[in-house]
Chain A
């Protein structure tokens, strides 16, 4: 039989893990995409809309 405190701890623990995983996923995804864009720009590939200045 779990105590009430254990149920509270399990709830906050699950919430913390879920939120941290979500934040890490968004953050690492953003970093990976930014690196890909930088690598493409370094290779001299530019978006068509960026070639003629600011996008419309």
Chain B
């Protein structure tokens, strides 16, 4: 068998919900273990490394705030790719993926907003300002809530999939706005300091816990996303089986 046909076969394997469930059962225990270990290391580093000479202890808020903010955008990007999968390739799991990711993304965005606010009060002297970065992230949070509401409001999953996929893709315009808001406008929020041209501007003392926590949070996202996708597949099977049972009962009468 050629290598090419093997790759295609593996890709098509993922499109099959039954095979996805098998894969999820195999992968989830490893992901859970790895996430727990990374969080243990990340939290240890977060509380044992030194405070900043200006920010003091509040620098530790960054080890939660920055990963949560990264994930809020990454989750939406995952949803946008899934929306393309629904509209372009009609991938059977694409809508399941987008639907399962929305509540997780909303939670991480909420976390980014709250921890940012808790850092802003002692450092900026205010809980909130309507600057471009903060406002665009708040809009992202509202979009997550809107998508969750839309998915729950529509009974027909096929129709809901198409409508929410279009809405996700339209809303994706907000992601580059969030990313570049600190460069395009004069914001109170600082510009990028980790991923930027010319290398990171952060001291390794702070960069180490930040990166470990970022990887831990990313793994937590994928663990929860795979588990939530599995739940969504089960939910659809239950609905299909109940409908089938109702039809069978109708024929018997």
Tell me the A residues contacting B by CB distance below 8 Å.
Answer: 2, 4-5, 7-8, 10-12, 14-15, 18-19, 21-23, 25-27, 29-30, 33-34, 36-37, 40, 43, 45-49, 54-56
B87 within 8 A of A: no
Instruction: Select B18's contact among A5, A36, A54, beta carbons within 8 Å.
Output: A54
Q: How far is the CB of B43 from chain A (nearest CB, A)?
A: 8
- Number of cross-chain contacts by CB at 8 Å: 93
* Distance to closest chain A CB from B220 (angstroms): 7
Q: B141 in the interface, Cβ–Cβ < 8 Å?
A: no
Total count of chain B residues near the partner, CB < 8 A: 38
Residues of A within 8 A of B241 (CB): 37, 40, 45-47
Chain A residue contacts of B245, Cβ below 8 A: 40, 43, 45
Binding site for A on B (CB under 8 A): 16-18, 56-58, 60-61, 64-65, 68, 103-104, 107, 110-111, 114-115, 118-119, 121-122, 220, 224, 227-228, 230-231, 234-235, 237-238, 240-242, 244-245, 248
Residues of B near A15 (CB, < 8 A) are 64, 68, 111, 115
Chain B neighbourhood of A22, CB < 8 A: 103-104, 107, 224
